[in-house]
């Protein structure tokens, strides 16, 4: 009896342990019971019924990248070129992904090729080469709408390479070279123009500085001449003042010595003669001094 129980426990362990399933993060398990869809298990601990339940598909819920080979496409102006694309997608419904379409990746690849041909067929070559973002947006919208019944969400579509025919590549390279040379010529011309403008501005500023220096020098010379004249005039005035002061002091001494009025007036006349310094042609004298001057002249002639 004990052996039977042990054998039964061993059989139960062998049968039921495989029925215990732990679903990891970012994974989903699609469960079928007797061949029909039963449930979708997400992250955590799960137990299935032995024999009747099975894991039909383990689905990766992370964002995935599908890199498709180059596809030949024809533009609106009948230019054949090769374009390869990259699709970033994520499975949002494991049940639809498992039962919605056979071989989902092949379906996405074919859908990407046909959508790309439809979009490029409405564009000319130049527009195709300069409208990557527009093409990416249109392809993402079309693919996302088409793959929604399959439980797939297309997050982003990128065009990796756009390869035109060899002769068009050669023509484009020549055009780019000519454009580059034109830009270099324009840059050189602008540099020469800028250099001439800077040179002219430098000469203008130099002329202005020279004119300002000449002006300031003229002002300084005029101020120096003015200062000289003022100082000479002040010197002459001071000399006259000193002569007058000396004469006044002499008359004061004569007066203190008891000289009469006639001698004092005569001394005043001599002071006027010194003031004139022999350069004046006419001297106006007070009336009382005119008589003394006549007497002095008569005495001078008598002395002769």
Given this model, what pLDDT does residue 150 score? Answer: 92
On the question of pLDDT at 268 being above 60, the answer is: no
On the question of pLDDT at 250 being above 80, the answer is: no
On the question of pLDDT at 91 being above 80, the answer is: yes
61-70, 194-203, 287-296: range with lowest mean pLDDT: 287-296
Q: How do residues 28-59 score in pLDDT, each as one tens digit? A: 999 999 989 999 999 999 988 888 889 999 99
Within 10 Å of residue 154's Cβ, how many Cβ atoms?
Answer: 23
On the question of pLDDT at 259 being above 70, the answer is: no
On the question of pLDDT at 7 being above 90, the answer is: no
Given this model, what pLDDT does residue 16 score? Answer: 77
Output 225 or 275, whichever has higher pLDDT.
225
Output 115 or 266, whichever has higher pLDDT.
115
Given this model, what pLDDT does residue 168 score? Answer: 73
Q: Residues 127, 133, 135, 137: what is their CA dihedral angle, to the nearest 10 degrees?
A: -150
- Sorting pLDDT into bands at 50, 70 and 90, what band is 151? very high
Given this model, what pLDDT does residue 299 score? Answer: 43
**What is the chain's mean pLDDT, rounded?**
80
Q: How far apart are CA 138 and CA 87, in angstroms?
A: 13
Given this model, what pLDDT does residue 302 score? Answer: 43
Instruction: Concatenate the DSSP letters of all residues of the chain into one string.
Output: -HHHHHHHHHHHHHHHGGGEEEEPTTEEEEEEETTEEEEEE-SEEEE--TTTEEEEEEEE-S-EEEEPPPEEEE-TTS-EEEEEEEEEEEES-HHHHHHS-SSHHHHHHHHHHHHHHHHHTTS-HHHHHT-HHHHHHHHHHHHHHHHGGGTEEEEEEEEEEEE--HHHHHHHHHHHHHHHHHHHHHHHHHHHHHHHHHHHHHHHHHHHHHHHHHHHHHHHHHHHHHHHHHHHHHHHHHHHHHHHHHHHHHHHHHHHHT--HHHHHHHHHHHHHHHHTTT-S-----HHHHHHHHHHHHHHHHH-
pTM: 0.54
On the question of pLDDT at 97 being above 70, the answer is: yes
On the question of pLDDT at 74 being above 50, the answer is: yes
- Sorting pLDDT into bands at 50, 70 and 90, what band is 265? low
On the question of pLDDT at 95 being above 90, the answer is: yes
Q: Please, are residues 149 and 92 in contact by the beta-carbon 8 Å criterion?
A: no
- Sorting pLDDT into bands at 50, 70 and 90, what band is 25? very high
Distances in Å between the alpha carbon of 49 and those of 93, 196, 280? 24, 92, 149
Question: Residue 72, class by beta-carbon neighbours within 10 Å (0-12 exposed, 13-18 middle, 19+ buried)?
Answer: exposed
The pair of three-digit structure tokens given for residue 161, joined into one six-digit string: 């390479």
| Fold of the 64-164 domain | Tetrahydropterin Synthase; Chain A (3.30.479)
Q: Please, how many CA atoms are within 13 Å of residue 77, restricted to the half-sphere of its CB?
A: 8
Residue with tokens 């139960």: 12
Q: How far apart are CA 86 and CA 135, in angstroms?
A: 13
The pair of three-digit structure tokens given for residue 150, joined into one six-digit string: 């399959």
- Sorting pLDDT into bands at 50, 70 and 90, what band is 292? very low
């Amino acid at each position: 009896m004990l052996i039977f129980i042990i054998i039964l426990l061993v059989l139960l362990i062998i049968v039921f342990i495989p029925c215990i399933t732990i679903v990891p993060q970012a994974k989903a398990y699609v469960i079928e019971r007797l061949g029909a869809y039963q449930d979708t298990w997400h992250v955590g601990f799960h137990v299935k019924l032995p024999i009747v339940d099975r894991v039909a598909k383990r689905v990766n819920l992370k964002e995935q990248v599908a890199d498709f080979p180059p596809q030949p496409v024809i533009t609106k102006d009948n230019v054949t070129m090769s374009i390869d694309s990259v699709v970033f997608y994520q499975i949002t419904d494991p049940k639809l992904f498992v039962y919605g379409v056979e071989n989902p990746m092949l379906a996405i690849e074919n859908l990407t090729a046909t959508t790309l041909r439809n979009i490029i067929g409405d564009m000319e070559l130049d527009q195709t080469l300069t409208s990557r973002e527009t093409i990416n947006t249109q392809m993402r919208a079309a693919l996302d709408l088409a793959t929604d019944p399959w439980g797939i969400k297309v997050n982003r579509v990128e065009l990796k390479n756009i390869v035109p025919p060899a002769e068009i590549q050669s023509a484009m390279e020549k055009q780019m070279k000519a454009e580059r040379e034109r830009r270099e010529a324009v840059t050189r011309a602008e540099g020469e123009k800028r250099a001439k403008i800077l040179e002219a501005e430098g000469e203008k500023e130099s002329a202005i500085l020279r004119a300002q220096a000449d002006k300031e020098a003229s002002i300084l010379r005029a101020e120096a001449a003015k200062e000289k004249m003022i100082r000479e005039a002040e010197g002459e005035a001071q000399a006259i003042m000193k002569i007058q002061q000396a004469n006044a002091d002499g008359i004061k001494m004569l007066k203190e010595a008891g000289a009469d009025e006639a001698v004092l007036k005569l001394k005043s006349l001599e002071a006027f003669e010194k003031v004139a310094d022999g350069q004046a042609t006419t001297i106006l004298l007070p009336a009382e001094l005119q008589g003394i001057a006549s007497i002095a002249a008569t005495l001078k002639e008598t002395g002769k």
